[in-house]
Amino acid sequence: NDIPEKAKQTGTYLMAKLQGLKQQFSLVTEVRGKGLLLAMEFDHEIAQEVVVACLDKGLLINKVKSDAIRFMPPLIITEKEVDIAINILRNIFTEKGSEWTK
């Protein structure tokens, strides 16, 4: 297995999925990063709330600023696992997004 190449491909996949969330939810203002080290920025200072909501659903992410979170998955993460994480985020943004942007 070529772990660095697989990580690069999965990072590209994760970036595309995060960009999709940005298109779907106006509370996401920016997605940036390289490889599997990516960040998502919000239009309000909701990073802590997002981290807690994700943790409640089994997704571990980091708050890097009051309005930004970081994704730093293991190099061996699969596209299926990325999809699970994206679905968790999508559900959280759908459930709580309107109250966070007030």
Q: What is the pLDDT of residues 25-42, one digit of tens each?
A: 999 999 999 999 999 999
HSE toward the beta carbon, residue 43, CA cutoff 13 A: 13
Sketch out the chain's domains with CATH numbers. 3-97 (3.90.1150.10)
Per the listing, tokens 């998502």 go with 40
pTM of the model: 0.93
How remote is the C-alpha of 16 from its chain's centroid? 11
2-18 pLDDT per residue, tens: 999 999 999 999 999 99
